[in-house]
Chain A
Amino acid sequence: MTQVKNASVAAVPVHETERKWWHFFTFSTDHKVIGIQYIVTSFIFYLIGGSLATAIRTELATPAPDFVTPEVYNSLLTLHGTVMIFLWIVPAGAGLANYLIPLMIGARDMAFPKLNAVAFWMIPPAGLMLVLSFFLEAPQSGWTSYPPLSLMTGKVGEGIWIFSLLISGTSSILGAINFFVTILKMRVPSMGIHQMPLFCWAMLSTSGLILIGTPVLAGALILLAFDLLAGTAFFNPTGGGDPVVYQHMFWFYSHPAVYIMVLPLFGAISDILPVHARKPIFGYKAIAYSSIAISFLGLIVWAHHMFTSGTPAWLRMFFMITTMVIAVPTGIKVFGWLATIWGGKISLNSAMVFAMGFIAVFVIGGISGVMLAAVPFDIHVHDTYFVVAHLHYVLFGGSVFGIYAAIYHWFPKMTGRMMNEPLGIIHFVLTFIGMNLTFLPMHQLGLLGMNRRIAFYDPRFTSLNQLVTLGSYILAVSTFPFLFNAVWSWLKGKPAADNPWRALTLEWQTSSPPMIENFEVLPVLTTGPYDYGMTHKSTEAGSEPGTPVLSGSPSA
């Protein structure tokens, strides 16, 4: 598929005229195929990461190390963290972005389709390498891989871990370049930057973070690889190296990584809520620019992961303030979302309950995040289960709930079939209960004195841990209704109309699933993305290509 330079060109030459199932297993350059490839692949890794988590919780059901050895336990937690971050949430966000961005902005494909395919096909080998390392000599030093421990245990696995991350990081950078250029350069001419769906704003911010942060991680990993394989001492204190420098470089990427994981879903939620509440998004510009603000602030908060490390007092104070300030743009989003659904006409379908559930649990992670930013308090709970609880409220309650909401919302567009609603609601209820049962008691465990990353623990924490393990089993079970629903609906589900949710953004103004070149005739904006309840005659874009009727921007 060729790059579309001029949006007025109606037809572009294509290799394929009809989508076949086996296209999904090829080096396809169609962004829709690549998007689904990303989402399905990352979901498979989610199942692997989830199995690892279930094994971790089984071990922690009792205080003694009886289910696995402590060495295996450390491999489990290392792989769980790495798989969930680098092979599930980050690529799942990239998958959604690949599928949605060109459709949302009225383009026929991404700016660099081949690069796009290359970026995707780096994920499976990186992931397989990492998972296979489990059967050789797995990495055991956590997903943070702090030297000097990472230079001493599980060295074979550590090497594989480094190279796996370098590959998936490269994939992430290639994807980000594509999103950036596509969003800025390939919108239909009638779409100004303030008529873009908020998902595009979120991806713009995410791409910026990836492009600035990931190379620094790559630098840290390459130096770590030298220490590991060539015996240099960049970070190894026995040769005069400084482990704290690694921590700075690692977190310079890995804190923004949290926003890389959650911003795309902020965007998705901003697009899902107005559709199912039948109201315009509340404060479009505030939500759009808060993504940019989060992205900028996200780059200057990394050392809050190091408040108990080798950091001087002034640095602790500086990063405390910057970290707390991030609560402001995040608060703008949360309150904007609440005001969006307030007074609306809410359809409680699976996409909407996951979107509202997202707000309900994410806010807990946001609040505990501000608490953790306070240095005196963080000194007590750093590296405890309080932090484990916080990060899972952000990354499970935020990202995973967001991904589920997005899948339920865009599944009809992607497959041309509706998902089963009762199964979706069962899935939500199980996930919501399981999530809170798993992660809420962890706050108390951490405050009371349970440190993280331990295979065996003080017996006084047994009952709370058993509650947590029970919750994690519910979470594990909650995946089955979803899996069955997705597979069955894809094959046999009720055929979906082109626009089953009566949404206004452009991806809904074409067929379901979209034709290979996305739009028969490139659409012209006749309405803003969230103009619900406004008196527009037609919501069908592209029907009158000769008359570019622009609606006013939905500004506040």
Chain B
Amino acid sequence: MLAGIALTLVSLWYGKNHGLMPIEASNDAALVDGLFDSMMTVSMGIFLLVEGVLVICLIKFRRKPGDETDGPAIEGNIPLEIVWTAIPAVIVLVIGVYSFDIYNQMGGFDPEAAGDPGVVQVAMMPGNGATQMIETPVKHRGHNHMALGIGASPGNADHPADLTVDVLGMQYAWIFTYPVSGVTAGELHVPVNKDIRVNLEAKDVIHAFWLPEFRLKQDVIPGQGAELRFVPTRVGEYPIICAELCGPYHGGMNSRLYVQTQEDYDLWLQSQVASQADGSQTVAAADETPDAHLLAAYAEQVGIDAQDLDQLHAHHSQVHSL
């Protein structure tokens, strides 16, 4: 009994104090972490129970030297077996319902993103500044019904996102286009506490768009659109990571996410609009970019010319000094 209480207390404490998750920087992150903490509490209890029984057996139930007799002939105990079948069943049922609810709160059932065949989604593209590249996924979604990801949380589902950014994944870079202002950037800037939607599209192979601090991830499959919708809640700089093996330099396919105050975000957007009006273009590629000749080979594949590549290198050495 005492052991049971101690086990429960340790589990409860550990569930709150495991310190394993990175910073929570979006509304989804808080939801996922709540689920994770609960699962860690239950897990710790089961873990301690099993390992405890093993250790007790190891110490207490050792065969004495010279004792050749058998142990008690207990072949089972139906009530006990029912208990240890029912308890895990109830636990997984509760975790299942809890996960279902969290998934709903995150926006997993937003018909925009849940792949519900009853909804036509073409009407959702805000603005007319979308380039050819961006229109492709929309077209696909119309007949494919497999535009997937995490949509708006139930409270935001009835109105369009405050800001939409189109994201193109290619070996080995993410390119972010702001359809309204026409800005193209190698890193993602978003204002804090706004409802953000990213439309994801892959150019060559499957990539996965992962924001660890936002607890969000979605594979980006060539020819199939996907989306993520989230509300950043904390100003800061966070990694954007490709999580699906996409080639040898997969490990370098990272970018940065800047969550800024509305003022800082507006300043950044204006500077981008101004600089791109000058005719210069910014494209950022992988962190720790491989050598130039290697990149040139890929640049050819993705249709970036030598001039862009030079700019990219200049940009890169300036921004990422790892």
Using a CB–CB distance below 8 Å, which chain A residues touch chain B? 64-65, 69-71, 73-74, 140-142, 146, 148-149, 152-153, 237-238, 240, 242-244, 277-286, 308-317, 320-321, 324-325, 327-328, 331-332, 334-336, 338-339, 341-348, 356, 359-360, 363-364, 367-368, 370-371, 374-377, 379-380, 382-384, 443-444, 447-449, 451-459, 502, 530-534, 554-556
Instruction: Report B-chain residues with C-beta under 8 Å of the C-beta of A140.
Output: 247-248
Q: Are B224 and A448 in contact (CB under 8 A)?
A: no
Q: Are B103 and A327 in contact (CB under 8 A)?
A: no
Q: Are A311 and B148 in contact (CB under 8 A)?
A: yes
Given A338-B53, A343-B61, A379-B217: A456 touches B252 (CB 8 Å cut-off): yes
Tell me the bound Cα distance from A69 to B251 in angstroms. Answer: 12
- Residue A556 contacts which of B75, B84, B244 (CB distance < 8 angstroms)? B75
A-B contact number at CB 8 A: 298
Q: Is B204 an interface residue, CB under 8 A from the partner?
A: yes
Q: Are B224 and A310 in contact (CB under 8 A)?
A: yes
Stretch at the interface among B109-117, B158-166, B184-192: B109-117
| CB of A262 to closest CB in B, whole Å | 17
Q: Is B300 an interface residue, CB under 8 A from the partner?
A: no
Instruction: Report A-chain residues with C-beta under 8 Å of the C-beta of B251.
Output: 65, 70, 451, 454-457
| CB of B83 to closest CB in A, whole Å | 9
| CB of A528 to closest CB in B, whole Å | 9
Tell me the bound Cα distance from A377 to B213 in angstroms. Answer: 13
Q: Are A449 and B212 in contact (CB under 8 A)?
A: yes
- Residue B219 contacts which of A310, A339, A448, A459 (CB distance < 8 angstroms)? A310
Q: Are B62 and A346 in contact (CB under 8 A)?
A: yes
Instruction: Report B-chain residues with C-beta under 8 Å of the C-beta of A338.
Output: 50, 53-54, 57
Q: Are B61 and A345 in contact (CB under 8 A)?
A: yes
Extra contacts besides A149-B245, A244-B221 (4): CB < 8 Å: A309-B221, A379-B218, A383-B245, A451-B243
Given A347-B63, A360-B51: A379 touches B20 (CB 8 Å cut-off): no
* Count of chain B residues with a beta carbon within 8 Å of a chain A beta carbon: 95
| CB of B116 to closest CB in A, whole Å | 7
Given A243-B206, A383-B243: A310 touches B221 (CB 8 Å cut-off): yes
Q: Is B314 an interface residue, CB under 8 A from the partner?
A: no
Instruction: Report A-chain residues with C-beta under 8 Å of the C-beta of B100.
Output: 317, 320
Tell me the bound Cα distance from A456 to B206 in angstroms. Answer: 19
Q: Are A448 and B74 in contact (CB under 8 A)?
A: no
| CB of A233 to closest CB in B, whole Å | 11
Q: Are B84 and A153 in contact (CB under 8 A)?
A: no
Q: Are B89 and A328 in contact (CB under 8 A)?
A: yes
Q: Which of B46, B50, B290 has the most CB of A within 10 A?
A: B50
Q: Are A314 and B114 in contact (CB under 8 A)?
A: yes
Instruction: Report A-chain residues with C-beta under 8 Å of the C-beta of B113.
Output: 313
